[in-house]
Structure 1
């Protein structure tokens, strides 16, 4: 337990210096958001295998403070990236980090999965570091909404803990009719499906 005199320092933003998708990023984080001290291993693995076209329109689902969405936005300078999260602090940090890194082809906004995503937006890619405790019901909602939000030929790419890999595989096949395992690491699996 911390003592009272520690609290002002704990309320200050933390800073992460990182390189994702060959782009240097400075990211402000805060206690209470996912992985505030460093980029988590699942995101790092995803960044090694994710391919983004320079004009892609992408959605970072559950963006946190923005490491995935901002790296993707830097990689698609002629495209755009929407970042959504149900945590208002995460959205605030993502927008702050976009400004801090001079990235103007992205925006973060509050949304419980696709609830606030404009239904007229059709994405080339939907990307997510899926929480380990996502429920079957929520995942079903997310996958069917993702299918509807993707352009034909669009891709959904998830990184999950290995314990969810069969669950994701079965659900990708059920909703999209296909599944590809891009990489399985010691703790995480990257899964992808294409809207055909």
Structure 2
């Protein structure tokens, strides 16, 4: 029993350490931001390379109403909100914990022109219209769901609105085909060895 106590205490200390928020700061597309994250969220200790590649190439207008589709703890959406102070940015994710940390990070950075919503894609925001949609699309959701996201995005984008996505480079042909079928246009913004950023525009009706 006397030998078990240190092990038990060590386990409790380790458990407390794992539950403690992770914190870091970064500069994304020229915007200085602080983040609190936790284990279980995507890339909790640093901004992943795909997100950084995407944000470095998005053209944001000050009055854009933006959507961050699959927001995680908020790096894309909060950056867009900073760059579009006259617009409203909506952050959505299926993961309740991700949405909660997006809210916390908006407060941490004093960003008020945001709304964070727990939603499976566009399901809970079907009344919104957007000038800019951005997403770090996860390959694991499957091609059928990715195609659904593109169709829903087109439906809820304003004419002249833009969509930017980053995917693993292995999905670039699928995204090209999807953009051309849904939007009628496609722009390969940047292709790297691991990730590709692509864009399309909703043409005027």
Q: TM-score, normalised by structure 2?
A: 0.92
Compute the displacement of 1:117 (Å): 0.7
2:134/2:163 contact within 8 Å kept: yes
* Runs (5+) with no aligned partner, structure 2: 1-9
Q: TM-score, normalised by structure 1?
A: 0.96
Who is 2:82 aligned against? 74
Question: Deviations along 1:168-188, whole A, 9 cap, x unmatched?
Answer: 101111111110000012210
1:98 aligns with 2:71: no
Question: Deviations along 1:51-84, whole A, 9 cap, x unmatched?
Answer: 1000000000000000000011000111110000
Who is 2:134 aligned against? 127
2:126/2:156 contact within 8 Å kept: no
Who is 1:107 aligned against? 115
Runs of 4+ residues deviating >4 angstroms: none
Who is 2:201 aligned against? 194
SS, match of residue 145 in structure 1: helix
Structure ID, larger Rg: 2
RMSD of the TM alignment (CA)?
1.1
Who is 2:187 aligned against? 180
Compute the displacement of 1:97 (Å): 0.3
Report matched runs for 1:1-196 at 5 Å: 3-119=11-127, 121-196=128-203
* Runs (5+) with no aligned partner, structure 1: none
SS, match of residue 76 in structure 2: helix
Q: Distance in 2 between matches of 1:174 and 1:146?
A: 13
